[in-house]
Structure formats: structure tokens, C-alpha cells
Amino acid sequence: MTTVDPLSTRDRERRDLFGWFVLVTFGLLATWLAVRAGARLGTASAPFLGRYRLELSPMSLLAPVVATAVLGAAWRGWIHRLPWWAVSLGATVAFFAWAVSLALVDGSDGLTRSLTPDSYLGDVQEVGDDPLGYLRSFTDRSAEHTAATRGHPPAPVLVLWAVQRLGVTDHLALGLLVTAVGALSVPMVLAAVRDMSGEAAARPYAPVLALAPYAVWTAVSMDAVVATIGAAMTLAGVRATRRHGWRAAAWAVLAGLLLGTAALFSYAVAWLGLSVVFLNFARRRAALNMFAGLGVLLPVLGAARLGFTWTDGLGTAYADFAQRIEPHRSALWWGLISVCALLLAAGPPIYASLRKVRNTPGWPFLVGASGAVLFSVGAGLARGGAEHAWLPYFPWLTIAAVAPERPGGDPVPAPLTLVAVGALSAMIIEAVLSTPW
């Protein structure tokens, strides 16, 4: 393998870090101006939702220990020497430990905030012994739901209900379970990157995922579950393009099934399907889109047969948004500062990724996720909470950070400087931000 000049690599990382810092500075300046101008933001912690405070405790030492261990292992070259399965498993375990260590800055509450009676868990009791009845009445009784449930389809509540029926009722255990499911997105994203860009690109991407700043919200949001389903969908779409005949069709249908299932958890995640559409066209397998489309319809139409019509639910959620959020949060200001939240949540690797998007075969993933974000901002729907609502998109926005400097060029090492600064920013955010989830 051709070596890369370490001096030039460090110079590029410094330039990428400076570029990210400039963009974040402009974003924070826009946030400051919005606050000073008295803009309708609806939060005390712009560009995020929640409030600011300073929280330091002995548990605050956990995150630096995890970050140091991951960076040290990557710096010593373990990501290149270990077998692939060990790299994938290690990144998954590291991301889980990273997310939990960040959440534990607030003690056990850091893992249970999203599972309080004010969130999805407050609606679980409404399911009772009749989940089908709950499904049928979900849209009509939207006004009775908690704020989190009103903006989502019924799957999050029904999944929590099913998990509790299986005997997992402790809030801390539920929080750890949600975080563990969210961590499963890591091996799927790595597998997709390996399939698209090769193992030489996937290995240095492992630390980028393992210490991603958006782990701050992975441990406190059911959207982490959506991120994993979305990652599984994308991986199935990639596998479909590697097969032929009925095997390709079966993988494409599976990708559609997963996207349709994800859409029963989140209305916005449907946009992630653009990644697979772009992928199929890029690999000249456009016919697979038909099979994927059929797969999407199965869970959506199945839910309709059981009483929940997805389009009706979307309309009801938008009506609630228009009444409860739209008048109280400025679309213009939130559009600007949501991009700032994205830059902070994705960390410095996003700058390198956007700069090199043309150099990676995985560009359909980045373009698909970017399209979803741009639509949300352009349509005026990004009015707070992007840091958790966009969790399914974040991993795909940084995949080109490990792309070569030119198409077909030499592989680049893991951008550890960018990863380290991103990890530091996550620790700072966790120390000063109290999220409502």
C-alpha cells in the first residue's frame, strides 16, 4: 500500500479543523445574535433544546478515559492490525461505552431522561392490554399524547410497551437497552462503508464513529433506534447491488421493509431512502428501486390494515407542529442555528467529509443524508431538536472524512486530530447542557 506523507496529512487535518472552527464560530455568532435580538427560539440553550448549567462530578472522568483508550488504540495502529471483525466489534463496544460515559455525567438520570412520564413512557400505559386498539385510535387521540409521541408514529410507544411486557421495566435498564440498540448502527455503517469504499477506508473510519459527538444524544433518544434501523436499511441496499437475480431483489425488498419499519418510528427518516435510490442509480441497478419500493409498502400498508394510516398520522403530526411549535419558533433563525447544532453534533470530521465528497464511492449516502437535512431546513421544519431528530443522518454525513484527497488516490489515515477535538466538544456539551430528553 502506498504511504501518505504524515506532514501533509497533519496539515490537511489542521486546515479541516480550522474550517470547521470557522463555520461553528459563525453558527454560534448567529445563535448569539438570535438570542440578543429576542428571536422566537423556545429554548434556553440555543442552538440546542434544553438549558445550560455546569455539571462536573467524579463520573465526568469516565468519558475522557474512554476517549483516551480509543484514540490510543487507533494511534498504535490496532485498527489496521486486528481482524476486521475485531475492529467492527471494538468500535461498537467503544461507541456504547462512549455514549454511556457521557450520559453518566448526570448520573443515572442521564440514561433515563428520555423515558420519563413526560416522554414516550408516559403513553405506554394507554396501550393497556389492547395494542391494536391503541394503534387504531392513535391518530384520533393525538392531542392526549405527550409532546414526543405527537410528533412520531406509534412504533416507539408500542416497542417500549412490548419491552416492558417482556419484563424490562426498570428505567435504567431501558435506557441501557436503547443505547445498546443505537450502538448497533456502528457495525452496519462500517460494513456499508467497507462494501462501498473498501476496507482501507472502513478501518480508519472506526474511531470516527466510536467517538462521534452525537453520542451525547444517542443515550437519551429513541431516535437512536431509528438510526440503527436506517443503517440496516442502507446496508441491505448495498448488498442488493452486489447480488444478481432474485437474490438482489430479496435484498432490495429487505431494504424497503426496513425503511418502511423505520418510517413507523419517525416520519422524517423516510428521506434516508434517498441514499439507496442514489446508490442504485450510481451502480446502474435502477430496477432495484422498484423492489425496494414494494418492500416499503408492506409495513406501511400492514399498519394501515391494523388501523394506523401513515399519511393521516403525518398530517396530524404536522397540524400539531403548526399549532404548538411553528408560531413560537422562528423558521429563519432556527434554520441557521440548526446547521450549527449539526456541525457540533457531527464534529470536525464533517468538514473533511463535505470537502472530499466527490472522492468517495460512498457519496450516495452523504448526498442522501444531506438532502434530508436540507429539505428539513428549507421547509421550515428544523425548529429545534435537530441534534436528536437527525441522528439517523449523522453517521452518513462524515463518511468521506477518510476518503483519499483525490478520486482513486492514496488511502488516508484516521483523522485522529479531528476525532479528538470532536470528542472534546462532546464532553464540553455534556458538561454544560441539560437536554429535555
pLDDT, residue 6, reads: 58
Beta bridge partners of 51: 434
Element (H, E) at 426: helix 416-432
Alpha helices in 104-197 (DSSP H): 109-112, 121-127, 131-137, 147-150, 155-165, 171-183, 185-197
Q: Alpha-carbon Rg of the chain, whole angstroms? A: 21
What would the pLDDT profile of 267-319 be if each residue is shown by its tens digit?
A: 989 899 999 999 999 999 999 999 999 999 999 999 999 999 999 999 999 99
171 vs 340: which has the higher pLDDT? 340
What would the pLDDT profile of 138-163 be if each residue is shown by its tens digit?
A: 999 998 898 888 889 999 999 999 99
**pLDDT category of residue 131 using cuts at 50, 70 and 90:** very high
Q: Cβ of 193: how many Cβ atoms within 10 Å?
A: 29
Please tell me the distance from the alpha carbon of residue 385 to that of residue 318, in angstroms, as a whole number. Answer: 15
Please tell me the distance from the alpha carbon of residue 209 to that of residue 87, in angstroms, as a whole number. Answer: 12
Q: Where are the beta strands (DSSP E) in 252-410?
A: none
Report in angstroms the alpha-carbon separations of 96 from 76, 188, 345: 21, 14, 16
Going by C-alpha positions, the residue among 92, 80, 356, 77 that lies closest to residue 199 is 80
pLDDT, residue 296, reads: 96
∠184-206-92 over CA atoms, to 5°? 25
Q: Mean pLDDT score of the chain, rounded to an integer?
A: 91
Residues 340/27, Cβ–Cβ less than 8 Å: yes
What would the pLDDT profile of 20-41 be if each residue is shown by its tens digit?
A: 999 999 999 999 999 999 988 9
Burial class (CB in 10 A: 0-12, 13-18, 19+), 254: buried
pLDDT above 50 for 78: yes
- Which residues, other chains included, contact 8 with Cβ-Cβ below 8 Å and sequence gap of 6+? none
**pLDDT category of residue 437 using cuts at 50, 70 and 90:** low
**pLDDT category of residue 407 using cuts at 50, 70 and 90:** confident
**pLDDT category of residue 4 using cuts at 50, 70 and 90:** low
pLDDT, residue 411, reads: 81
**pLDDT category of residue 108 using cuts at 50, 70 and 90:** confident
Beta bridge partners of 433: 52
Please tell me the distance from the alpha carbon of residue 180 to that of residue 159, in angstroms, as a whole number. Answer: 15
Residues 391/221, Cβ–Cβ less than 8 Å: yes
- What sign has the CA pseudo-torsion 275, 386, 125, 319? negative
pLDDT above 50 for 2: no
pLDDT, residue 378, reads: 85
Burial class (CB in 10 A: 0-12, 13-18, 19+), 143: exposed
What would the pLDDT profile of 31-77 be if each residue is shown by its tens digit?
A: 999 999 998 898 889 999 888 998 888 899 999 999 999 999 999 99
pLDDT, residue 3, reads: 53
Strands 51-52 and 433-434: antiparallel
Tell me the pTM: 0.93
Instruction: For residue 148, report the phi and psi dihedrals to the nearest 5 degrees.
Output: -65, -45
Residues 158/127, Cβ–Cβ less than 8 Å: yes
pLDDT above 50 for 171: yes
**pLDDT category of residue 1 using cuts at 50, 70 and 90:** very low
